[in-house]
A and B are shown apart, each in its own frame.
Chain A
Amino acid sequence: MFKGASHFKTYMGSMAVLFVSLALVGCAKKISPVAGSEGIAGKEQSSASASSPQGGSRPSGSTQEGVGPGMGSDGRSQDMAASGESGSRDPSAPSSGNQGITSRDQSAAPRDGMASLEDSSKSVQGMSESEPKLAENVYFDFDKWTIRGDARDMLTENARWLVANSEVKIQIEGHGDERGTNEYNLALGERRARSTKRYLINLGVSPSRISFISYGEEKNVCGEKNEECFQKNRRAHFVVK
Chain B
Amino acid sequence: MLRYVLFVLLGLFFDGSVTHAAEVFMEMERSGFRKIPLMIMPFGGAPEHKEELTIVENVLRADLERSHVFELIETRDIGISADQGEVPGSAVMVKAAKAGVLVIAWAKLGTQDEGWVLESHAYETAKGDQVVGVKIFGGKNKLRKLAHRFSDKLTLHFTGEKGVAQSRVVYISDLSGEKEVYIMDYDGANKMRFTRDRSIAISPRWSYDATKIVYTSYRKGNPNLYVIDLKTGERKEIASFPGLNFSPSWSPLGDQLAFATTKDGNAEIYLINADGTGLKRLTFNPSDDLSPSWSPSGKQIAFTSDRGGGPQIYIMDADGSNVHRLTFDGNYNTSPAWSPKGDWIAYACRNEERRLKICADRSDGSQSIAITESGHWDDESPSWALNGRELIFTSSRFGKNQILSIHLDGTRLRRLTSNPANNTSPSWSLR
Q: Taking beta carbons and an 8 Å cutoff, which residues of A are in contact with B?
A: 2, 143, 178-184, 186-187, 190-191, 194, 213-216, 218-219, 225
Contacts and interface: CB of A to CB of B under 8 A. Distances in A.
B335 interface: yes
B195 interface: no
A183 B262 contact: no
B304 interface: yes
30 contacts: A2-B354, A178-B396, A179-B378, A180-B332, A181-B334, A181-B348, A181-B380, A181-B381, A182-B202, A182-B203, A182-B424, A183-B203, A183-B246, A183-B260, A183-B291, A183-B304, A183-B334, A184-B290, A184-B291, A184-B311, A186-B202, A186-B246, A187-B244, A187-B267, A190-B262, A191-B266, A214-B223, A214-B262, A215-B218, A218-B200
B202 A184 contact: no
B356 interface: yes
Contacts, number: 77
Interface string B237-280: 00000011011000000000000101001110000000000000
Contacts of A186: 202, 223, 244, 246-247, 290
A214 B353 CA distance: 27
B372 to A, nearest CB: 14
Which of A180, A186, A215, A219: most chain B Cβ within 10 A?
A186
A233 to B, nearest CB: 14
B179 interface: yes
Contacts of A190: 243-244, 262, 267
Contacts of A187: 244, 260, 262, 266-267, 288, 290
B419 interface: no
B202 A214 contact: no
A184 B262 contact: no
A219 B218 CA distance: 12
A19 to B, nearest CB: 29
Contact of B179 (A143, A191, A218): A218
The list of the 9 closest CB pairs from A to B, nearest first, reads A187-B288, A183-B247, A181-B334, A187-B267, A184-B334, A181-B335, A183-B291, A181-B380, A218-B200
A235 B354 CA distance: 20
Which of A183, A190, A191, A219: most chain B Cβ within 10 A?
A183
Which of A2, A194, A213: most chain B Cβ within 10 A?
A213
A182 B380 contact: yes
A86 to B, nearest CB: 12
Contacts of B244: 186-187, 190, 214
A91 to B, nearest CB: 10
A6 B221 CA distance: 40
A194 B266 CA distance: 9
